[in-house]
């Protein structure tokens, strides 16, 4: 799976560099969605996600299965579990330091 992910990532970057693949979003798009609170449109959309997307209909069926497994793993680890860990840390800090004020800033994925 690691080799598959690395090869797919390198192919995507080579295609971007060669101009045969266009980035589906701009920095301005990311800022607009962030400011509007519409992160699902950017973060969880397979076409524009910051999470690597290995799902490609041109892959052979057995590689599509591998791609789906990797995609699910990345979303679980890089988004959902990360958010859960951060939430638990924030709650622990607040409970342990009820007399203090905090400012928390979180990225958009």
pLDDT digits 0-9 by tens, 4-25: 878 887 887 788 788 877 766 6
More confident residue, 37 or 102: 102
In this prediction the pTM is 0.48
pLDDT value for 106? 81
56 pLDDT band, cuts 50/70/90, is low
- The answer to whether residue 50 scores a pLDDT higher than 60 is no
Instruction: Select the more confidently predicted residue: 58 or 109.
Output: 58
Local confidence band at 64 (pLDDT 50, 70, 90 cut-offs): confident
Question: What is the residue extent of each domain of the chain?
Answer: 1-96
**What pLDDT shows up at residue 91?**
96
**In sequence order, what DSSP letters do the residues of 20-89 get, joined into one string?**
SS--S--HHHHHHHHHHT-THHHHS-TTT-SS-----TTS-HHHHHHHHHHHHHHHIIIIIIHHHHHHHH
């Amino acid at each position: 799976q690691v080799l598959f992910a690395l090869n797919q990532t390198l192919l995507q970057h080579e295609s971007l560099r060669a101009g045969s693949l266009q980035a589906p979003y701009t920095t301005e798009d990311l800022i607009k969605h962030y400011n509007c609170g519409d992160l699902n449109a950017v973060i969880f959309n397979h076409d524009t996600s910051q999470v690597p997307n290995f799902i490609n209909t041109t892959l052979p069926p057995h590689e599509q299965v591998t791609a789906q497994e990797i995609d699910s793993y990345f979303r679980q680890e890089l988004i959902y579990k990360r958010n859960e860990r951060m939430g638990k840390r924030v709650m622990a800090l607040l409970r342990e330091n009820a007399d203090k004020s905090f400012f928390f800033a979180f990225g958009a994925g």
